[in-house]
Amino acid sequence: MSEASVRSDDPVNPTDNIDFTRAQVSPAFADLRKKHRSFVFPLAAAFLIWYLLYVVLAIYAPGFMATPVVGNVNIGIILGLLQFATTFAITGWYVAFANKTLDPRAAALRDEMESGVYAAERKG
Amino acid sequence: MYLADTSSVVLAAESTGETVGTPWINMTIFGAFVLVTMIVVLRASKNNKTAADYYAGGRSFSGTQNGLAIAGDYLSAASFLGIVGAIAVQGYDGFLYSIGFLVAWLVALLLVAEPLRNTGKFTMADVLSFRLRQRPVRIAACISTLAVTLFYLLAQMAGAGALVSLLMGISSKAGQSLVIIVVGVLMILYVLVGGMKGTTWVQIIKACLLIAGVAVMTVWILGLYGFNLSSLLGSAVESTGNSKILEPGLKYGASEITKIDFISLGLALVFGAAGLPHVLMRFYTVPTAKEARKSVVWAIVLIGLFYLFTLVLGYGAAALVGVEAIGNAPGGVNSAAPLLAFELGGSVLMGIIAAVAFATILAVVAGLAITASASFAHDIYTNVICKGKADPRKEIRVAKTTVVVIGLLAIAGGIGAQGQNVAFLVALAFAVAASANLPTIIYSLFWKGFKTRGAVWSMYGGMGISILLIIFSPVMSGSETSMIPGADFALFPLSNPGIISIPAAFLLGWLGSLGGQREDEIKQAEMEVRSLTGIGAEGAIDH
């Protein structure tokens, strides 16, 4: 493949003869896109809200954050550590989802495209 | 503020004006790092033949290696020295600050890394201009890439000068300038000789050293307190005489302005990390989107552990070194981590930590230099000037020339910025990345109706608003800590523009796409199918 250009109308591009518009409207792709979006969008919104909630609590409710829980460990420290815990948990959850749900569907579509299921009619 | 609270505390050590530790040990360990990395870079350079080798390390790194390199790229000296110092001196607010840097990686994991790897080749602009008009979008993306990387680079170079006075006992301006020149020349050498492969290995070695060093200190401190976090916190309170260090508010709680300022900073951190061009470029160094995913997972684990360790180090420094000793040391807040290392393991451990801090600067600036040069050569030279028909060898030559120019600019800027308060530059880089880059990345990956005009409005708008707001902020003028303390044109009260510039950039991207020329629907279909399936993405190069 040519190194100089990213444009896919390169003569040597292996995806030249795929009809992406047909692939895009195929039920298999619609299913993959729906699975992907309905997982990542809500999760992204949730972690953003949870982070902002934490920041707003820290900024506007320092007294609440200072409430001791165990020894010198207060609610603020615990909520901060929970941000780490949820970040790790969301990472693990997404990876499990992607491995189980997204990867097999993406691979199946890729195989179909490579074997000419969505071949374009030769233009000119 | 903390000084008033702790004035009654008896000093453990009087260190005013003296350098703690042994400079020659620090320099020897640092020299060993440079030697080892140079050998690795030379070996890595043997297979640099094509543009994909030079820009993307032949796409042959594993997800694990790339995750380490991302951590090495992302954890700057400001993260290490700055956050440990911030926690030691400002307590909880330093911890609060660090969390944004980690959580931000979820944006990269969930929304950016894999589709970016599937649709781009070398630069951020590859993705942004995939289905839009090449010329205007590439130019805008390149300008924003250069702005973000230069702001970041300048902050690192100026930081290098300040670090020397602290770690190597060089306090003269000429001596510090010499060190800035050495850092700049090493950066140019790493990138010219090793390309992305060499840069990646420098980052991997640095990440291992940094995380190992910080882990050892963390276990050491926790060991001193019987692995009981509560007693470490108690000791920090006892040593500083200030129980407020365990709760939020010491820094950001000062006034209504500082409160909103922190929320603005938090937004820039969370939306900025996944828009940093030098981070995005790292995703092209792996063979597949699945490896890109694995890279982010490793990066999140390593960066998360790192910031957990800095929490222990920060409160450990407050407990063992003391706030006044930190404040009186030559590097101020930045000296907390090295002083803590001296307290624990004497000159040798301090030498290791000092050398790691320097290695950190080198690895980060090398990553920035290759990103800026790739964007100029690939986006402007090849795709705008030569309309996509440049000879790849010529393109690499342009990239290498750009590295030298950027290196010289960084050296000059670093020397010029000595003694200036340039810490705001890192926050500005994040703000520009969050406003100029991320909205356009998200829109072009996920919104079919996004148009060239929207991309251009969002990128220039986000960049322009961030920079203008900084110019008219207290960072530039109107207070004693401003860059121009004598003048007062601070019309905007916040030091962080994110809370205005990020929503504005999203809005501009949407507004600009309402009208304007129709875009190529076939390219949109191709981009969407590619981004989710990975068809047509370039794999690793065999040598």
Alpha helices (runs of H) in B172-228, residue ranges in sequence order: 173-224
Dump pLDDT digits (tens) for B82-98. 899 999 999 999 999 99
A12 in a structural domain? no
CB B173 within 8 A of CB B20: no
B271-278: average pLDDT:
95
Dump pLDDT digits (tens) for B439-462. 999 999 999 999 999 999 999 999
- Chain B interface test: which of A2, A54, A70, A87 (most B C-beta within 10 Å): A87
Using pLDDT thresholds of 50, 70 and 90, give the confidence band for residue B465: very high
Q: Which of residues 11-40 of A touch B (CB under 8 A)?
A: 13-15, 18, 20-21, 23-24, 29, 32-33, 36-37, 40
Range of the domain at A56: 24-114
A5 in a structural domain? no
What pLDDT, on the 0 to 100 scale, is given for residue B9? 28
A7 in a structural domain? no
A124 in a structural domain? no
Q: Has this prediction a pTM greater than 0.95?
A: no
Dump pLDDT digits (tens) for B501-519. 999 999 999 999 998 788 8
Which residue of B106, B290, B538 is in closest CB contact with A1? B538
- Long-range contacts: B34-37, Cβ < 8 Å, 24+? B34/B186, B34/B362, B36/B205, B37/B190, B37/B201, B37/B202, B37/B205, B37/B359, B37/B362
Q: Mark yes or no for CB contact A106/B532 under 8 Å.
A: yes
Residues of A in contact with B297 (CB under 8 A): 91, 95
Q: Mark yes or no for CB contact A4/B92 under 8 Å.
A: no
Total count of domains within chain A: 1
Dump pLDDT digits (tens) for B212-224. 999 999 999 999 9
Conformation bin of residue B542: beta by default, left when phi > 0, alpha when psi is -120 to 50:
beta
Domain limits of chain B? 19-418
A72 in a structural domain? yes
Tell me which of 1.20.1730.10, 3.40.47.10, 3.30.390.50, 3.40.190.10 is the CATH number of domain B19-418: 1.20.1730.10
Give burial (CB, 10 Å; 0-12/13-18/19+) of B4: exposed
Tokens at A8, concatenated: 């896919």
B194-204: average pLDDT:
93
A6 in a structural domain? no
A44 in a structural domain? yes
A123 in a structural domain? no
